[in-house]
């Protein structure tokens, strides 16, 4: 007996059904970069991710010298919007 391989319909991908997975990945990456687990990314911590240090001042919207998880998520959201 042959089994059919289940595929994800393109319509689900386009409707954003998988965005919660993307958001979780973002949170995981933030947590991985936040080495001292203080809930913020310092300039030194940001240096561990290619390209993040170059955009650090743009992402640091309150100019406090660190990225909050909200600033990080906002920057990621803006970047994904720019790619569309």
pLDDT tens digits, residue range 22-71? Answer: 444 457 899 999 999 999 999 999 999 988 998 999 999 999 999 999 99
- Of 71 and 78, the one with more pLDDT: 71
The gap from C-alpha 16 to its chain's centroid, in whole angstroms, comes to 15
Any domain includes 70:
yes
Per-residue burial over 35-52, b = 16 or more CB atoms within 10 Å of its CB, e = otherwise? eeeeebbbeebbeeeeeb
Any domain includes 78:
yes
Any domain includes 63:
yes
Any domain includes 17:
no
Any domain includes 80:
yes
Q: How many domains does the chain have?
A: 1
Domain encompassing residue 53: 33-84
Rounded-to-integer distance, Cα 45 and Cα 27, Å: 15
State residue 84's pLDDT score: 52
Q: Does position 18 have pLDDT exceeding 50, yes or no?
A: no
Any domain includes 64:
yes
| Secondary structure of residue 2 in the 3-state scheme | coil
Any domain includes 25:
no
- Of 8 and 77, the one with more pLDDT: 77
Predicted confidence band of residue 20 (pLDDT cuts 50, 70, 90): very low
Any domain includes 76:
yes
């Amino acid at each position: 007996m042959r089994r059919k391989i289940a595929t994800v319909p393109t319509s689900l991908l386009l409707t954003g059904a998988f965005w919660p997975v993307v958001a979780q990945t973002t949170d995981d990456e933030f947590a991985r970069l936040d080495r001292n687990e203080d809930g913020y990314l310092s300039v030194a911590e940001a240096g561990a991710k290619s390209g993040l240090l170059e955009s650090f001042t743009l992402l640091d919207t309150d100019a406090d010298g660190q990225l909050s998880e909200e600033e990080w998520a906002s920057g990621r959201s803006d970047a994904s919007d720019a790619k569309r």
